[in-house]
């Protein structure tokens, strides 16, 4: 779904196997309890007692059907989760760990996508051989590229993590090995090796063509190797992680150092043999890859936590600019013309910098990372926010009619009450773009705050909820801030917002603030008039999605915890739980069509289940939760937890499904059907017990 959610869920899934085994060992043949009906509360009263859940029976005929798919743009292939970047002979090469390929950029567009080994994570280019080398972590190989073709694949070290190339030699290090391996560039054959004092392996490599020294990060030090003799000639006994680069202009090298007292990362310049610190400059949060322009000495540092690049003057180490670029930038390269390119791993694009002006010039999408969508019930137009292109696509009659540039990494869209304006929430940019739907022009941009998520319009009050602020829908003037307090009295920001003006409530999905396995996303209820929290439990722990049925006074939400997935239905007035439906896979997206009473749930396999299960669309009838249809969805890359977004055009009977793995929008024709038979109840043990804070 969104970035914070991904990070929390990744922690939760790391202990999934242990807890799911414990759950599986709980008794399953317990006495049945009555089937929950509307108005009857279904509650978990004890971790050892069962709760009645609904298990749909797929007996109803499938009458819904896909009628087309709409590509947002034309790409020669998709590149997911880019990790590293290199430049050679006018081409930019990008290693995509999530799609097992390398994207080739020429003229600021992707011209080829090259399949390589499993999970490519590092790149190096050698001008002498004219070849590009790719370290594949998954199958522990190195792919050798010439132009846009793989010419050879050779064995690598255990868990290869870093590469460097110079004058026909390739230097290779791995997280699972403490030996620096040297390959012959053209053949890929090993010609030498050198053991290094690397307690957890070799994390980063850099070579200096001027001094012919190689620098190797081994976590607690930087080892300095003479390339001609292949001997360790010096070491810098400092903690060194992933930020490491040689300075071909002044002869030294750079590393990142963190000052815990001031909570500041510094880029530190050392003399060639590490014998003297030459200077330091503050950079952004969690710096990763960096590059030095060999002609000007200008330095570029990718800051993965603060989503920007520090541009630094060489020699003086003066910070020239901090340029926001995209979500989770990991690596930088400077080509022979002095142009800087930045890989944004979670925006799935490459940012091209205007170094002189200190700003982002353009982005090159490696995939079409579609996020939020909204359909205009008056015109039938569909608006799609695409994070990898920093734009919104306007679709009409199943084709793209316009593309509107907005801010950095747009993720959510909403229409004004009169449909004259489209609001766009830019996650990395931290602002709100307002587009005129008449001429597709950005008319206003308003600052919202860091990494905003959640967007909803309240026409009855002429208000707009964006992240943790409430704005006037006309002027975008900030009216107040929404304060979501956890049980520990800490403030959290929402990642999803739904508003029901009839009940005067806003429902916000946000983190519960509890560390460890009891942490998860829950639904907070906020009074629209006062902005105060309303006590009451809605949904479940580890909520993944939420939609409202204002006419039926119901709240639909999905939750996934330790391999146990559910659809939960609550009454919107008293919050009583109406029904619980067990789901076979992770619920990645949820939508509701009030005209057909159909609930749409995108179910996807978890990353560690990708080979065993396939994604599908479940359709349930909300009147009795009978099973309407099950339709296959395009496969995920195995790296994407939430690969879909949904939007409903109830007027025309369409469901739109944005597939981030392929960059297309699928169109499903939804039709009104007679309610299928209600499913029979089954007794299922409760999920692993958790703490749920009171509001």
Residue for token pair 């950029």: 105
CATH superfamily of 82-365: YVTN repeat-like/Quinoprotein amine dehydrogenase (2.130.10.10)
Please answer whether residues 457 and 416 qualify as being in contact, where contact means their C-beta atoms are separated by less than 8 angstroms. yes
Pull the structure tokens for residue 565: 């997935």
3-state class (DSSP) for residue 12: helix
Q: How confident is the model at residue 607 (pLDDT cuts 50, 70, 90)?
A: confident
Q: How confident is the model at residue 356 (pLDDT cuts 50, 70, 90)?
A: confident
Give me the pLDDT at residue 40, please: 41
Cβ neighbours of residue 367 under 8 Å, at least 6 residues apart? 75, 78, 79, 80, 99, 348, 388, 660, 661, 663
10 Å CB burial of residue 294 (0-12, 13-18, 19+) is middle
Q: What is the dihedral of CA 549, 555, 561, 566, to 10 degrees?
A: -60
User: For 443-453, how does the pLDDT look when each residue is reduced to its tens digit (9 = 90+)?
Assistant: 999 999 999 99
Give me the pLDDT at residue 640, please: 61
In this prediction the pTM is 0.89
Pull the structure tokens for residue 488: 């520990």
**DSSP designation for 119:** S
Give me the pLDDT at residue 358, please: 81
User: For 466-497, how does the pLDDT look when each residue is reduced to its tens digit (9 = 90+)?
Assistant: 999 999 999 999 999 999 999 888 999 999 99
Instruction: Specify the long-range contacts of residues 548-553, CB closer than 8 Å, at least 24 apart.
Output: 548/498, 548/500, 548/507, 548/572, 548/592, 549/592, 549/594, 549/622, 550/500, 550/501, 550/502, 550/503, 551/594, 552/594, 552/622, 553/503
Cβ neighbours of residue 124 under 8 Å, at least 6 residues apart? 86, 132, 133, 163, 164, 165, 170, 171
Please answer whether residues 9 and 551 qualify as being in contact, where contact means their C-beta atoms are separated by less than 8 angstroms. no
Q: How confident is the model at residue 17 (pLDDT cuts 50, 70, 90)?
A: very low
Q: How far apart are CA 237 and CA 243, in angstroms?
A: 15
Residue for token pair 């619980």: 580
Using alpha carbons, select from 511, 692, 690, 673 the residue that is nearest to residue 64: 673
User: For 206-243, how does the pLDDT look when each residue is reduced to its tens digit (9 = 90+)?
Assistant: 999 999 999 999 999 999 999 999 999 999 999 899 99
Show the 3-state SS of 611-678.
Answer: CCCCCEEEEEECCCCCEEEEEECCCCCCCCCCCEEEEEECCCCEEEEEECCCCEEEEEECCCCCCCCC
Give me the pLDDT at residue 1, please: 45
User: For 385-432, how does the pLDDT look when each residue is reduced to its tens digit (9 = 90+)?
Assistant: 999 999 999 999 989 999 999 999 999 999 999 999 999 999 999 999
Which strand ranges, in their side-by-side order, compose the sheet holding 681-685? 543-549, 554-561, 564-571, 577-583, 50-54, 681-685
Q: How confident is the model at residue 613 (pLDDT cuts 50, 70, 90)?
A: confident
- The CA distances from residue 500 to 149, 316, 456, 526, 651, in Å, are 55, 57, 10, 10, 20
Using alpha carbons, select from 204, 45, 184, 41 the residue that is nearest to residue 121: 204
Query: What is the chain's alpha carbon radius of gyration, rounded to the nearest angstrom?
Result: 27
Give me the pLDDT at residue 638, please: 53
Location of each CATH 2.130.10.10 domain in the chain: 3-72+447-685, 82-365
State the helix-helix crossing angle for 3-14 and 16-24, rounded to 10 degrees.
Answer: 60
Tell me the pLDDT of the chain averaged across its residues. Answer: 89
Q: What is the mean pLDDT of residues 600-623?
A: 87
Q: How far apart are CA 546 and CA 541, in angstroms?
A: 12
Please answer whether residues 171 and 160 qualify as being in contact, where contact means their C-beta atoms are separated by less than 8 angstroms. no
Please answer whether residues 676 and 626 qualify as being in contact, where contact means their C-beta atoms are separated by less than 8 angstroms. yes
Enter the CATH code of domain 3-72+447-685: 2.130.10.10
Give me the pLDDT at residue 44, please: 30
Percent of the chain with pLDDT over 90: 81
10 Å CB burial of residue 378 (0-12, 13-18, 19+) is exposed
Q: How far apart are CA 50 and CA 30, in angstroms?
A: 7
Using alpha carbons, select from 400, 438, 444, 405 the residue that is nearest to residue 423: 444
User: For 151-203, how does the pLDDT look when each residue is reduced to its tens digit (9 = 90+)?
Assistant: 999 999 999 999 999 999 999 999 988 999 999 999 999 999 999 999 899 99
Q: How far apart are CA 288 and CA 132, in angstroms?
A: 21
Q: Is the pLDDT of residue 518 over 60?
A: yes
Q: What is the mean pLDDT of residues 24-48?
A: 33
For the chain, the residue count is 695
Cβ neighbours of residue 232 under 8 Å, at least 6 residues apart? 194, 196, 223, 224, 225
Q: Is the dihedral of CA 307, 516, 544, 637 positive or negative?
A: positive
């Amino acid at each position: 779904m969104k970035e914070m959610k991904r990070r929390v869920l990744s922690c939760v899934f790391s202990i999934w196997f242990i807890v799911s085994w414990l759950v599986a060992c709980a008794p399953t043949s317990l006495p049945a309890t009555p089937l929950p009906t509307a108005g009857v509360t279904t509650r978990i009263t004890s971790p050892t007692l069962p709760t009645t859940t609904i298990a749909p029976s797929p007996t109803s005929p499938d009458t819904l059907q896909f009628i087309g798919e709409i590509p947002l743009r034309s790409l020669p292939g998709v590149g997911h989760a880019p990790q590293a970047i290199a430049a050679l002979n006018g081409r930019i090469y990008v290693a995509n760990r999530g799609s097992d390929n390398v994207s080739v950029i020429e003229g600021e567009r992707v011209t080829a996508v090259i399949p390589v080994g499993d999970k490519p994570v590092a790149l190096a280019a050698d001008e002498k051989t004219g070849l590009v080398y790719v370290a594949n972590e998954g199958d522990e190989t190195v792919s050798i590229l010439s132009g846009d073709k793989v010419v050879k694949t050779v064995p690598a070290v255990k868990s290869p993590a870093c590469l460097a190339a110079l004058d026909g030699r390739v230097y290779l290090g791995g997280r699972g090995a403490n030996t620096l391996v040297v390959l012959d560039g053209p053949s890929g054959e090993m010609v030498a090796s050198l053991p290094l004092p690397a307690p957890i392996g070799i994390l980063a490599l850099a070579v200096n063509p001027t001094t012919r020294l190689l620098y190797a990060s081994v976590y607690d030090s930087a080892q300095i190797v003479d390339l001609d003799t292949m001997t360790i000639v010096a070491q810098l006994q400092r903690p060194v992680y992933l930020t490491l680069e040689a300075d071909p202009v002044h002869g030294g090298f750079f590393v990142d150092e963190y000052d815990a007292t001031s909570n500041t990362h510094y880029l530190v310049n050392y003399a060639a043999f590490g014998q003297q610190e030459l200077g330091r400059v503050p950079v952004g949060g969690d710096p990763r890859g960096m590059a030095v322009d060999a002609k000007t000495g200008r330095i570029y540092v990718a800051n993965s936590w603060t989503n920007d690049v520090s541009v630094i003057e060489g020699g003086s180490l003066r910070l020239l600019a901090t340029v926001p670029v995209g979500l989770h930038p990991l690596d930088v390269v400077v080509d022979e013309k002095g142009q800087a390119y930045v890989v944004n791993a979670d925006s799935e694009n490459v940012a091209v910098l205007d170094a002189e002006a200190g700003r982002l010039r353009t982005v090159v999408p490696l995939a079409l990372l579609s996020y939020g969508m909204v359909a205009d019930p008056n015109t039938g137009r569909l608006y799609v926010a695409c994070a990898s292109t920093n734009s919104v696509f306007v679709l009409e009659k199943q084709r793209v009619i316009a593309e509107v540039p907005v801010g950095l990494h747009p993720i959510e869209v909403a229409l004004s009450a009169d449909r004259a304006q489209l609001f766009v929430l830019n996650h990395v940019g931290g602002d709100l773009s307002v587009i005129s739907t008449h001429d597709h022009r950005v008319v206003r941009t308003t600052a919202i705050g860091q990494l905003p998520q959640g967007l909803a319009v309240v026409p009855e009050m002429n208000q707009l909820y964006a992240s943790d602020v409430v704005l006037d829908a006309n002027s975008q003037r900030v009216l107040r801030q929404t304060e979501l307090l956890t049980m520990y009295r800490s403030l959290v920001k929402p990642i999803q917002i739904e508003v029901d003006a009839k009940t005067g409530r806003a429902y916000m999905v946000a983190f519960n603030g509890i560390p460890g396995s009891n942490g998860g996303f829950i639904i907070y209820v906020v009074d629209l008039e006062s902005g105060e929290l309303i006590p009451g439990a809605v949904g479940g722990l580890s909520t993944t999605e939420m939609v409202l049925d204002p006419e039926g006074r119901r709240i639909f939400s999905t939750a996934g915890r330790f391999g146990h997935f559910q659809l939960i239905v609550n009454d919107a007035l008293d919050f009583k739980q109406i029904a619980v439906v067990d789901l076979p896979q992770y619920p990645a997206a949820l939508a509701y069509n009030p005209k057909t009473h159909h609930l749409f749930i995108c179910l996807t396999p978890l990353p560690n289940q990708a080979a065993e299960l396939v994604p599908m669309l479940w359709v349930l009838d909300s009147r009795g939760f009978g099973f309407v249809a099950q339709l296959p969805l395009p496969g995920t890359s195995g790296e994407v937890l939430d690969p879909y977004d949904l939007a409903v055009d109830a007027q025309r009977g369409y469901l739109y499904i944005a597939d981030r793995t392929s960059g297309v929008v699928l169109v499903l024709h939804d039709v009104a059907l007679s309610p299928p038979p209600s499913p029979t109840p089954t007794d299922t043990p409760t999920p692993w017990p958790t703490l749920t804070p009171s509001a």
